[in-house]
Amino acid sequence: MKSVLVIGIGRFGYHLIDQLNKAGDEIMAVDSSEERINPILGMVTSSLIGDATDEHFIKSLGVENFDVCFVAIGDKFQSSLEATSLLKENGAKYVVARASRSVQEKFLLRNGADSVVFPERQLAEWSAIRYCSATVLDYLEYPGEYSIFEVKVPDNWIGKSLADLSIRNKLHLNVLSIKRSDKPILEFPADLVFEEGDTVTVFGADKDIKKAFGINY
């Protein structure tokens, strides 16, 4: 369980809080609008109405006590930039800031953000890969151009085993799980033979995954 501060309760902030709450984290929510605070009261440990660009207000939050501070302000970039800077100046351990354009990322990183997220762009990328590929069922992006993909087993894998395909040595991929008849197989021998309808979850470099499964995104 982590202690998390979320500043800005727009659409992104709301869904972020919803997921953090499901994970059992302790959450403090901050927004300048009571109207935006009210819908999340049942999901957070505490909440405050205040101006995140006010240094005295930021100091009063005890930001150094949170494991992660999210700046989820989406409509006023100047406010996001100021809040990010104030958090870091007042001892925040790790600050994640929201951006909508690459130029904003540069400014946020220069002003104290440890990491920057692009909710709309990242969702668009996920949607394009997920729904415009005939084989991809889901994917999770990792830093450094690595990913986890769940894909339909290619036709040329059917009737062959992991050992036959030499997936790790030839394709440079690690098989994490196999799903058969909607049931995951987490422990599997090297001689397990792939069947039609199987799906496989693999981890590896993006370039290797795309080459192995013919993904063009």
- Predicted confidence (pLDDT) per residue in 128-173, tens digit: 766 667 777 787 777 678 888 899 999 999 999 988 998 888 999 9
Residue type present at position 64: E
Strands (E), the chain: 3-7, 26-31, 46-49, 68-71, 95-98, 115-117, 136-142, 146-152, 174-180, 183-185, 199-205
CB 208 within 8 A of CB 173: yes
Q: What is the pLDDT of residue 131?
A: 64
Beta bridge partners of 96: 70, 115
Share of the chain above pLDDT 90, in %: 62
* pTM of structure: 0.67
- Mean of all residue pLDDT scores within the chain: 89
Lowest mean pLDDT segment, chosen from 73-87, 127-141, 198-212: 127-141
Q: Are 44 and 110 in contact (CB under 8 A)?
A: no
195 C-beta neighbours (distance < 10 Å), count: 13
Quick check: 32 pLDDT over 90? yes
Q: What angle do CA 52, 57, 62 make, to 5 degrees?
A: 100
Residue 6: pLDDT band by 50, 70, 90 thresholds? very high
Instruction: Please report the domains of the chain, with CATH numbers, ordered by start residue.
Output: 3-117 (3.40.50.720), 122-213 (3.30.70.1450)
pLDDT at residue 54 in the model: 96
Is the pLDDT at 120 greater than 90, yes or no?
no
Residue 126 has pLDDT above 70, yes or no: no
The average pLDDT across 188-205 equals 91
Task: Give the pLDDT confidence score for residue 132 in this predicted structure.
Answer: 65
- Say how far apart CA 129 and CA 16 lie, in whole Å: 22
Q: Rounded to whole angstroms, how far apart are CA atoms 146 and 114?
A: 20
Instruction: Check residue 217 and give its pLDDT.
Output: 65
pLDDT of residue 129: 67
pLDDT range class, residue 196, cuts 50, 70, 90: very high
